[in-house]
Amino acid sequence: MASESLQAEVDRLRLQLETLQAKDGSALIFVGDYLLKRLEQLKVTKMFGVPGDFNLGFLDLVEDHATIDWVGNCNELNAAYGADGYARVKEHSLGVLLTTFGVGELSAINGIAGAFSEMVPVLHIAGVPSMAQQKSKPMLHHTLGDSRYDAYIKAAEQFTVAQGIITSKDSAAAEIDRVLTECITRARPVYLTLPTDIVYQKISSERLKIPLSRLPPPNDPDVQAFVLDEIVKLVDEADDDIVVLVDACAIRHDVREEVNELIKKTGLPVYSAPMAKSAVSESSERYGGIYVGSISHPEIKEKVEAAKLILSVGCLKSDFNTGNFTYSIPLSRTIEFHSDHTKVQFATFPGIGMKELLPQLTSRLQPAKKLFPVPPFTAVLPQENNDIISQAYFWPRVGQFFKPQDVIVAETGTSSFGVLDIPFPDKSVFLSQILWGSIGWTTGATLGAAFAAQDVGLGRTILFIGDGSLQLTVQELSSMIRHNLKPIIFVLNNDGYTIERYLHGKERKYNDIAPWKWTGLLGVLGDIDGSKSKSYTVSTKQELSALLDNAEFADAGKIQLVEVMMPQLDAPQALARQAELSGKTNAYVVV
Amino acid sequence: MASESLQAEVDRLRLQLETLQAKDGSALIFVGDYLLKRLEQLKVTKMFGVPGDFNLGFLDLVEDHATIDWVGNCNELNAAYGADGYARVKEHSLGVLLTTFGVGELSAINGIAGAFSEMVPVLHIAGVPSMAQQKSKPMLHHTLGDSRYDAYIKAAEQFTVAQGIITSKDSAAAEIDRVLTECITRARPVYLTLPTDIVYQKISSERLKIPLSRLPPPNDPDVQAFVLDEIVKLVDEADDDIVVLVDACAIRHDVREEVNELIKKTGLPVYSAPMAKSAVSESSERYGGIYVGSISHPEIKEKVEAAKLILSVGCLKSDFNTGNFTYSIPLSRTIEFHSDHTKVQFATFPGIGMKELLPQLTSRLQPAKKLFPVPPFTAVLPQENNDIISQAYFWPRVGQFFKPQDVIVAETGTSSFGVLDIPFPDKSVFLSQILWGSIGWTTGATLGAAFAAQDVGLGRTILFIGDGSLQLTVQELSSMIRHNLKPIIFVLNNDGYTIERYLHGKERKYNDIAPWKWTGLLGVLGDIDGSKSKSYTVSTKQELSALLDNAEFADAGKIQLVEVMMPQLDAPQALARQAELSGKTNAYVVV
C-alpha cells in the first residue's frame, strides 16, 4: 500500500512536470480521443447522456470507441442519476455524463449536486460552442440571449469540486488529467467543457503513458507514527470494550477491505450507519446492525453508546444518517478516521488519511481478549392476522428473497427506511441517497448500477421505489429495456407521497398523485411485443410470497416490475420515528 | 396609456415609501397568505410544482386558497415548463412554480433558465429551511453536506433577474413585492425563498391595497418628442415603402395591440420573425409571412430587404430567429422599438420604451398613400404521388385543421420549423422555444398553456412534438389527464432525433431512440379505464386526412394523442436550410 501510494505520487509529479515542460514527442491523438483513452484507462465502459448539437462530433468518437458504449438516456437528469449509480457500483472507476450546452447540462444539475453531496465520482462533460463563438458570443440557441456564455460554468462551480474549461488544445490534456484526478481522488463530481472545434484538434499522447491514480497523497510518516501511538494507547485503555462504527466514507473512500481486515484480526463488534449499509458483511457474527442515534433498535443503541471507545470510520453526520442528530457518543470516547484527516478525541490531525492509516493500525492491534457479545442482526417475519402487505411484513419477507451479490437500490422514503433493518446477504451492495434525498433518483441509478453490476460480476439488481417517486423519472425504464438489462423493480403502490404524509399533510390532496397502470408501463416503454419483460401485481401476503418463491421470477431472466399494493398510511417504524423528530424541527408554527 | 403609466409610477413610489416607513396599521396576515394574495391580484389561478418537505406548510395555504389551484406535477422540470407555458398564454399575469430546497429547485433550473432566455415572467418559490437552521447550518438532507446553504441561491442568480431571499417577516412583504414587480415589468423569471418558520408569521396587509403594476416607467416626454420627430421624418422620406417587422418582444412586452393599431391605421405591410408568429393576425391582407433572413421564402426576403424603411418591433436576433444571422437589413434603414429603449438608425435612446411610444407614433402617422402589395401568405398542399406523410404534406394539411383561437405549441426541431410557414387563423396563439430550444419543453408547456387557455377563453390546445423529445418529459401527459385537460397531441414518429440527424450524424446510432408504443401511453399514465382519452396512429395521407376531417376528433372532447408515422430522414425545408447554415458554423473540423 505504502509503495502504491508513493508510485501514485511519483506519477502525479511526473504529470505536473509534463504540464510545465509541454513535452510533445509521441504520436498525435484527437483531444476527444485523449479524453476517451483516459476514461478507458479508468475502466469506464458506459457513457450516460443525451445527444445535442454541441456534443455530436464528440459522440462520433464515442460511438466508434471499442470499449466505451453510449447509453443514450431519455433525459439528462436521468442520465446524471445513471452515471451516479454506475460509479457507486463500479468501484475504482467513475461515472461519465455527456450533455449539451445550457439546456442539457442544466437539466442534469440536480443529479450532479447529488453526486457532490453523496460523494460520488462523476465526470460531467458539456459539449459547448467553438472557441470562436465563445469569443464573439453570438445569440446562439441554448444561450441566455445576453452574451453570458459563462453562466453555466458559474452554476457548475457550485456543485463540482473542479472545473476544466478547455480553451485550447495546448492545455486540453493537462486540464482533462487535472479534473479526472480531482474526481477520482476526492470521490466528487467534476465538470469539463469540450468546445466543438477542439474535439478534433490533435495533441501529443505522451501523457497517456503515465496513469492517473485515485490514491491519496501519502501520510506524513512522523505524524502518522504519533497518531498510531495515541490510538493504540486508547485502545489498550478501553480493555476491548470497543465498537467499530462504519459510515458512508468507508465506501466512498474505498476502505471497506481495510475495515474488514481490522475486524477480522481484532474481532471487535462492528455496526454501520445507514449510509454504510453493506460496507461490511452483514452475515458476519461480529456485525450488529444499523446505528442511527435515538431511532436505533434499543439493543443496538445501548451497545454502541455504552462502549468505552468508538472507532468511527468515515462518518457523515447528516440528519437522516444519525436519527436527526441524536448520536449519544461523546468525542472523548471517539476516534474518527476520514479520507484526509484523523481525529483522536479532541485533536485533529490534518493530512492523515485512513486509507494508509487503517492497515497500519490493524498491524499494531492484537486480537481482542474478551469478545464482547454482539446480538445477532436478524429480521423476523411478524405474525399478522390479515392479508395486507404491511411495511412490517414486506421488508423481512423480501429480505428472505435476497441472494449474495445482489445490488439493492432503495428510493428515499418508505423504501430507504424500510430496508435498513433487513440483513443483506454477503457481498450484496446497497444504494440509497440518504443525504441528498432526491426522489426519483433510483430509476436512473438502477440503470447505471445494473450496467456496472455486469462489469464487476455482481448478480441481480433489485429496486424498491414508491409510486410517487417513480413518476419523476419513469421513462428511464425504457433504457433498461433497450439495453437488455434485467432488474427487478418493486413499485410500492401506496397512493402518493407517504414519506411526506408522515412529515406533514397526512390527509392533504397535494400528497396525492395520479393513479397509473403500473403493470402496463414496460409494454408501452419499449417491450412492444411483450417478450422482454414481465409485470405483476401482488395485493396479499400470499401473492407476494408465492411470487418471491417462484424460481423463474427469482432468476431474473428478463426485466420484471412488481406492483405491491400497500396501505396508504403505513410506514416502516424507522420512518415514523424519523418523521416525528424531523417534523418537530421543521414545524410550521403559527406565530 | 400615459395616465395609466403615471398611476403605475405613483403606486410604485407609494410602495417604496411603505417599505421605508414600515407602516403597520391594518389587519394582520400570514406571510404565506400575503404572497398568495399578491398572486391572486395578478390573476394567477394555478401553481405548478412538486411537494417537498420544506414547502408542505405553505402548500396547506395554497390548497386552502379559493382561487389558486395546486397542479402537482410529476417532476420539477416539467413543472417549470408548465409555469412557463401558462405565463405565455395568460398575458398580463405570470407563471408560478413551487419546489423544495436543493433537490427540487435544481431539477427545475433548466426550465427557469429557458424562461429567462425567452423572456417569460415566472416566479420560482423555493421552500427552504427555517432561519434557525439557515444560521446553524446542520447537515440536513437536501444539503451539499458542507454547510453551503447559499449554493442554490448562487445558481439561481445566474438565471433570474431578481432574488428575494426572505430572512425575516419584517422585510417579507417588501421582498415579495420587489421580485414580483421585477418579474412582471421585465417579463423574466425571479426567485423567492420561503423559510418554513416564516410562512406562518403575521405581517401587516397594508401594502396589499396598492396594486403591483407591470407597466414600465413613463418615457421622458422631451426625449420622446424628439424621437417621434426623427421617426416621422424618416417615415415621410420613405414614401410609404416601409415594412413593419414584428418580433419576440412585441409579445413578451405586450405591444401586440399597439402594433395592430399601427398597421390598421397606416396599412403598412407587416412580417414577423419566427418568435413572433401569431403576434399579428395572419389572416390580415397586410400580413406577409415569416421573415427569417436568407432562409425566408424568396418573395418575402425580397419584399422585406428592399423596403426603404423597416419598423422593427421587439427584435431578438438569435440564430434560429434570423436564419443564422443572415438579416440583410442595414441599420441605416431600420428603426428598432424595444421595451426600454429605441434605436433610430445609428442612435440609441435609452429609457424610451415602445409601450408608450408606439401609440404616439400611430397617432402621428397618416394612412399610407400607396399600399405596397403584400403577396398573400398561404400554404398550398403539395401533390405527391405516394401515401407517405411527408413533412411537405403534413404541415399544410394540419394548417387546414386549425381554427381561430387555437393554442398551437410546437416542439423545437421538425415541428417548430415545419409549422412556421403555415398561416394560423385569427386569434390563435403560437408557443415555441426558438431561442432556448430545450427539447421536451412543450409537454410541460402544453399543460400550462391548456390551463391558461381555459382562463382566457381560448380554444383547443394542439401540440406537435417528435418522438425523441416526448421521451424527455412524457410523464406530464399524466397531469393533463388528471386535471381533465383535453389537448390534441401529434407525436411525429420519425424514429429518433431528426433535427440532430440534419445537424450531424445522419446515420449515427446516438440519434436513435427506443421505440415506444405511443398509443398505449395515455392508458398507462392515468386513463386506466380508457374513458378519458383516445389515441390514434396514422400512417398515410388518407388516414391523416380522414382523422382531421372527423368532427368528433376536431371537437377535442377528450385528450387525444395521434401518432403520425413519418420518414426518418424527412425534414421541413426551413429546417434543412437552417441545419445547413448552422452545421457549417458548428462543423467538427479535423485539424
DSSP of B154-205, one letter per residue? Answer: HHHHTT-SEEEE--SHHHHHHHHHHHHHHHHHHT--EEEEEETTTTT-EEE-
Question: Residues 122-141, chain A: which have Cβ within 8 Å of B?
Answer: 129-130, 133, 138-141
**pLDDT tens for each residue of B40-67:** 999 999 999 999 999 999 999 999 999 9
Is any Cβ of chain A less than 8 angstroms from the Cβ of B202? yes
Nearest to A437 among B109, B141, B154 (CB): B141
CA distance B557 to chain A (A): 20
Is any Cβ of chain A less than 8 angstroms from the Cβ of B201? yes
Alpha carbon A190 to chain centroid distance?
15
Residue A96, phi then psi, degrees to nearest 5: -130, 135
Q: What residues does A563 pair with on adjacent strands?
A: A491, A537
Per residue, the 3-state secondary structure of A191-259, as one string, reads EEEEECCCCCCEEECHHHHCCCCCCCCCCCHHHHHHHHHHHHHHHHHHCCCEEEEECHHHHHCCCHHHH
Listed in sequence order, the residues at least 6 apart from A49 whose beta carbon sits closer than 8 Å to its beta carbon are A55, A70, A71, A72, A73, A76, A79, A97, A98, A99, A104, A125
- Average pLDDT of B535-543? 98
Question: Residues 14-43, chain A: which have Cβ within 8 Å of B?
Answer: 30
Q: Nearest 5 degrees, angle CA A525-CA A526-CA A531?
A: 125
Measured between CA atoms, the residue of chain A closest to residue B519 is A524
Quote the percentage of chain B above a pLDDT of 70. 97
Least confident of B3-17, B118-132, B358-372: B3-17
pLDDT-derived band of residue B162, with 50, 70 and 90 as boundaries?
A: very high
Listed in sequence order, the residues at least 6 apart from B498 whose beta carbon sits closer than 8 Å to its beta carbon are B413, B414, B466, B468, B511, B568, B569, B570, B571
Chain B CB contacts of A58 under 8 Å are 588
B59–A473 CB contact, under 8 Å: no
Q: Which residue has the cell 458512508?
A: A248
Chain B CB contacts of A136 under 8 Å are none
- pLDDT number for residue A591: 39
Is any Cβ of chain B less than 8 angstroms from the Cβ of A509? yes
Q: State how beta strands B533-538 and B559-565 pair.
A: parallel
- pLDDT number for residue B173: 97
Binding-site residues from annotation of A for Mg(2+): 467, 494, 496
For residues B162 and B568, the model is more confident at: B162
Question: ipTM score of the complex?
Answer: 0.95
DSSP three-state, residue A555: helix
Amino acid at A505: G
Chain A CB contacts of B114 under 8 Å are 103
Is any Cβ of chain B less than 8 angstroms from the Cβ of A340? no
- pLDDT number for residue A417: 93
Q: What's the CA gap between A194 and B506, in Å, rounded?
A: 21
Best A120, A202, A588 member to test B by mutation, with max B CBs in 10 Å, is A588
Known catalytic residues of A? 53, 76, 141-142, 437, 467, 494, 496, 500
Residue A558 burial (CB < 10 Å; 0-12/13-18/19+)? middle
Measured between CA atoms, the residue of chain A closest to residue B140 is A319
B144–A588 CB contact, under 8 Å: no
Chain B CB contacts of A107 under 8 Å are 77, 110, 438
Nearest to B319 among A116, A139, A481 (CB): A139
A151–B129 CB contact, under 8 Å: no
Q: State how beta strands A429-431 and B242-246 pair.
A: unpaired
B588–A512 CB contact, under 8 Å: no
DSSP three-state, residue A350: strand
- pLDDT number for residue A1: 53
- Give me B574's grid cell: 426551413
Measured between CA atoms, the residue of chain B closest to residue A158 is B151
Q: What's the CA gap between B474 and B561, in Å, rounded?
A: 12
Is any Cβ of chain B less than 8 angstroms from the Cβ of A438? yes
Cβ pairs bridging A and B (under 8 Å): 317
DSSP state of B488: E
Evaluate whether A391 touches A542 at the Cβ level (below 8 Å): no
Q: What's the CA gap between A16 and A37, in Å, rounded?
A: 19
Chain A CB contacts of B515 under 8 Å are 526, 528
- Average pLDDT of B221-249? 97
- pLDDT number for residue A99: 98
Binding-site residues from annotation of B: 467, 494, 496
- pLDDT number for residue A407: 98
Listed in sequence order, the residues at least 6 apart from B182 whose beta carbon sits closer than 8 Å to its beta carbon are B161, B162, B188, B190
Q: What's the CA gap between A174 and A179, in Å, rounded?
A: 9
- pLDDT number for residue A495: 86
Residue A579 burial (CB < 10 Å; 0-12/13-18/19+)? buried
Quote the percentage of chain B above a pLDDT of 90. 85
Chain A CB contacts of B469 under 8 Å are none
Q: What's the CA gap between A496 and A466, in Å, rounded?
A: 8
Chain A CB contacts of B591 under 8 Å are 197, 200-202
Q: State how beta strands A122-128 and B270-272 pair.
A: unpaired
| pLDDT tens digit at each of 591 positions of chain A | 567 778 888 888 888 887 777 666 679 999 999 999 999 999 999 999 999 999 999 999 999 999 999 999 999 999 999 999 999 999 999 999 999 999 999 999 999 999 999 999 999 999 999 999 999 999 999 999 999 999 999 999 999 999 999 999 999 999 999 999 999 999 999 999 999 999 999 999 999 999 999 888 899 999 999 999 999 999 999 999 999 999 999 999 999 999 999 999 999 999 999 999 999 999 999 999 999 999 999 999 999 999 999 999 999 999 999 988 999 899 999 999 999 999 999 999 999 999 999 999 999 999 999 888 999 999 999 999 999 999 999 999 999 999 999 999 999 999 999 999 899 999 999 999 999 999 999 999 999 999 999 999 999 999 999 999 999 999 999 999 999 999 999 999 998 888 888 888 888 999 999 999 999 999 999 999 999 999 999 999 999 999 999 999 999 999 999 999 999 888 888 888 887 777 665 555 443
Measured between CA atoms, the residue of chain A closest to residue B502 is A53
Ramachandran sector of residue A570 (left: φ over 0; alpha: ψ -120 to 50; beta: rest): beta
Binding-site residues from annotation of B for Mg(2+): 467, 494, 496
Per residue, the 3-state secondary structure of B411-425, as one string, reads CCCHHHHHHHCCCCC
Question: Residues 95-124, chain A: which have Cβ within 8 Å of B?
Answer: 102-103, 106-107, 109-110, 113-114, 116-119
Best A470, A491, A524 member to test B by mutation, with max B CBs in 10 Å, is A524
pLDDT-derived band of residue B591, with 50, 70 and 90 as boundaries?
A: very low
Listed in sequence order, the residues at least 6 apart from A419 whose beta carbon sits closer than 8 Å to its beta carbon are A395, A398, A408, A410, A430, A432, A464
Q: What's the CA gap between B61 and A135, in Å, rounded?
A: 49
Best A116, A139, A170 member to test B by mutation, with max B CBs in 10 Å, is A139
Chain B CB contacts of A59 under 8 Å are 505, 508, 510
DSSP three-state, residue B271: strand
Residue A91 burial (CB < 10 Å; 0-12/13-18/19+)? middle
Is any Cβ of chain A less than 8 angstroms from the Cβ of B196? yes
A478–B514 CB contact, under 8 Å: yes
CA gyration radius for chain B? 25
A508–B319 CB contact, under 8 Å: no
Measured between CA atoms, the residue of chain B closest to residue A440 is B75
**pLDDT tens for each residue of B83-105:** 999 999 999 999 999 999 999 99
Is any Cβ of chain B less than 8 angstroms from the Cβ of A384? no
- Average pLDDT of B352-367? 97
Q: State how beta strands B242-246 and B309-313 pair.
A: parallel
Nearest to B196 among A52, A513, A586 (CB): A586
pLDDT-derived band of residue B20, with 50, 70 and 90 as boundaries?
A: confident
DSSP three-state, residue A50: coil
Mean pLDDT of chain B: 94
Question: Residues 356-375, chain A: which have Cβ within 8 Å of B?
Answer: none
Q: What's the CA gap between A279 and A281, in Å, rounded?
A: 7
Q: What residues does A194 pair with on adjacent strands?
A: A127
Could you give all domains of chain A from N- to C-terminal order, each with its CATH number? 2-209 (3.40.50.970), 221-364 (3.40.50.1220), 391-569 (3.40.50.970)
- pLDDT number for residue B197: 96
By C-alpha distance, which of B408, B343, B324 is closest to B578? Answer: B324
Is any Cβ of chain A less than 8 angstroms from the Cβ of B484? no
- Give me A302's grid cell: 445501548
A437–B142 CB contact, under 8 Å: yes
Known catalytic residues of B? 53, 76, 141-142, 437, 467, 494, 496, 500
By C-alpha distance, which of B556, B535, B456, B490 is closest to B85? Answer: B456
pLDDT-derived band of residue B500, with 50, 70 and 90 as boundaries?
A: confident
Q: What's the CA gap between B51 and B71, in Å, rounded?
A: 10
In this structure, the dihedral spanned by the alpha carbons of residues B533, B63, B125 and B217, taken in order and rounded to 10 degrees, is: 90
A63–B509 CB contact, under 8 Å: yes
B582–A53 CB contact, under 8 Å: yes
